[in-house]
Amino acid sequence: MIVAEQKPFEEIKTKIANANKVLVVGCGTCVTVCFAGGEKEVGILASSLRMASKVDGKEKQIDEVTVQRQCEWEYLDTIKDKIGEYDLVLSLGCGIGVQAIAEHFPDARVAPGLNTAFLGLPLEQGVWAERCAACGNCILDLTGGICPIARCSKSLLNGPCGGSDEGKCEISGKDRTVDCAWDLIVKKLMARGELDKLLEIQPAKNWQTSRDGGPRRISREDLMLAKE
Amino acid sequence: MAEATNGYKSGSTLEKILRAGKFAATAELGPPKNADAEVIRKKAAQLKGIADGVNITDNQTAIVRMSSIAAATLSVQNGVEPIMQMTCRDRNRLAMQADMLGAYALGIRNLLCLSGDHQQFGNHPMAKNVYDMDSMTLIRMVKDLRDGNKFQGGEEIKGTNPRFFIGGAENPFADPFEFRPYRLAKKVQAGVDFIQTQLIYNVPKFREFMKRVVDLGLHEKVYILAGVGPIKTAGAAKYMRDQVPGMEVLDEYVQRMEGAGKGIEDKKEKAAAAREEGIKICVELIQQMRETPGVAGVHIMAIEWEEAVKPILERAGLLPRPVVE
Ligand code: SF4
Ligand code: SF4
């Protein structure tokens, strides 16, 4: 899923400073699951902002709504009648949600309330970690299901580098929280007797399928509606 | 079109010395954190005729320094053969190949391919990193430019192609230990000609690594230069032991460095005693490396202490250097 984190409260306050009527829009999908922008977080943030505006002596109207998915037009349609009433929409969706609102409602002014961080998963209660960099050409079968693009700090395809230290990446520092992806890959494949996979040199990656090839788009004829 | 190199891959002095079966000795010349060519001249003067080649580091530890291509060129001009380092951190394949064409045109003949330290360590942790390639695919690219006469993208090189003696690094002390010899095998397969290792302060473990390397027959396909270096202070020994990822320093060396200068009051004399001990340890390590099967030479990393290289090699009995051709 997409993992995001709420921006610091002070930053959010600055972003809405010039607006009197603000609609805080949550999203019921990824950011609900990572406790950043679901109905509950929207409620807490909206009331904190209301309170703060009162304290600052310029009370704002701050309303709230959460749609099931901010990144699909049909769910956004559920707020189309009210969105025009606000000078600012504060989206607690991921970066895609923010843009979907901006695209679907061209007249609306939108501000992001979250920092979209990565594609990942929850490791334990309160901890999320990155797992995929959406490189557009998945090679997980070669690496024991562990992604070297997203999880090696240098995206090496023929690791590990010389900084791998007792299972940790050289960038780890003192808290040693960053695993060396290549240590994981090598140990897993060696234990499975798949050394041959590791011995094969992975050629330089073709990054055209990644962001480097320009903004990406998928078009599928089989799913497109027939043209009238 | 390949230039005539009399059967040598690159014709560099380092290549000739290794091919002749002589025990090689390389050193390091760190470019300055400024634009002063004089720094290179001074360091080169200390290493001229002493080392067979000197590594010109490429923004080492991700700290901005004079570019390795410029410093290597100055080194050539000052009569010291450079081993130009190139990392994958700061350049993509276009920039790397462009620099290789330029470096060769400027007379540089040895190229050491590295992935490079992550920028987090340096003075620009906020920078975007590149890592278009890794050290393995970089080695392959340099080999293709030389032997395949083609760019990484597949286009043929018309005219002079860059013909480098290709170096790589290996850290026998990085994890996972059991995979390191195989990773070296991959670099050999990719086309590396010589390897310089991480600093060795744990000889038994290095020998275990070398035994596996020899068992795999790799020492016959690649020249392995063992990394050694003089320690300046007991603090430096401890720092390397405790703080540097992928480095191992046996306690005995830390203790020897602490013991040197014990009882000496005068600060200067105390520091000199420690430096002397550091040089002594380095000379012993070189001796142990010469006795280790599969080792073709030593790479002396006397960082910001270039003047130590001469006494070390002298005492190790490695001076004067052999003259080739
Ligand atoms: S290889 Fe590419 S697509 Fe597969 S997990 Fe890694 S980044 Fe994602
Ligand atoms: S230590 Fe491991 S994860 Fe970190 S950069 Fe090196 S190979 Fe990649």
Q: What is the pLDDT of residues A88-121, one digit of tens each?
A: 999 999 999 999 999 999 999 999 999 999 999 9
Nearest to B112 by CA among B100, B101, B121, B120: B100
Q: Ligand 1 in contact with A171 (CB < 6 A)? A: no
Comparing CB atoms, the residue among B115, B182, B183 nearest residue A154 is B115
Cβ distance of B182 and A170 shorter than 8 Å: no
A138 Cβ below 6 A of ligand 1: yes
Task: Give, in degrees to the nearest 5, the angle at Cα A226 between A222 and A228.
Answer: 170
Tell me which H or E stretch contains A63: strand A61-67
CA of A169 to the centre of ligand 2 (A): 5
User: Exposed, middle or buried by CB within 10 Å (0-12, 13-18, 19+), for B21?
Assistant: exposed
Compute the half-sphere exposure of residue B323: CA atoms within 13 Å on the CB side of its CA: 4
pLDDT value at B261 more than 80: yes
Report residue A210 CA to chain centroid gap. Answer: 16
- How far CA A52 is from CA of A14, A48, A62, in Å, comes to 12, 6, 11
The pLDDT of residue B2: 47
Which SS3 state, helix, strand or coil, does residue A27 take? strand
Gap from CA of A161 to ligand 2 centroid (Å) = 6
d(C-alpha B33, C-alpha B104), whole Å: 24
Residues of chain A with CATH 3.40.50.2300: 2-118
Angle among Cα B52, B58, B64 to the nearest 5 degrees reads 140
Buried b (16+ CB within 10 A) or exposed e, A3-25: bbebbeeeebeebbeebeebbbb
User: Is residue B42 scored above 80 in pLDDT?
Assistant: yes
Cα A54 to Cα B17: distance, rounded to the nearest angstrom: 80
Cα–Cα nearest to B29, from B231, B236, B307: B307
Output the domain CATH number for residue B93: 3.20.20.220
**Distance, C-alpha A181 to centroid of its chain:** 21
Cα three-residue angle B29-A171-B135, rounded to 5 degrees: 55
Can you list the positions of beta strands (E) in B57-174? 82-87, 110-114, 165-170
Domain range spanning residue B24? 13-230+294-304
CATH architecture of A2-118: 3-Layer(aba) Sandwich (3.40)
pLDDT tens, residue by residue, A16-66: 999 999 999 999 999 999 999 999 999 999 999 999 999 999 999 999 999
* pTM of the model as a whole: 0.96
* Number of structural domains in chain B: 1
| Cα–Cα distance measured from residue B248 to residue B172, given in angstroms and rounded to the nearest whole number | 10
pLDDT tens for each residue of B274-300: 999 999 999 999 999 999 999 999 999
Q: Decide: A1 and A30 in contact? Cβ < 8 Å.
A: yes
Residue found under tokens 């009527």 = A21
Residue A117 exposed, middle or buried by CB count within 10 Å (0-12, 13-18, 19+): middle
Cross-chain CB nearest to A207 (options B89, B132, B185) = B132
Cβ–Cβ contacts within 10 Å for residue B242, how many? 10
pLDDT digits (tens, 9 = 90+) for B149-193: 999 999 999 999 999 999 999 999 999 999 999 999 999 999 999
Alpha helices (H) along B106-202: 135-143, 180-190
Domain assignment of residue B217, yes or no: yes
Per-residue tokens: A194: 């798949």
Strand order in the sheet with A127-132: A2-6, A114-124, A127-132
Tokens matching residue B53: 């080649």
* Ligand 1 contacts CB of residue A211 (under 6 A): no
Q: pLDDT class for A228, splitting at 50, 70, 90?
A: low
Q: Which residue of A has its CA nearest to B125?
A: A171
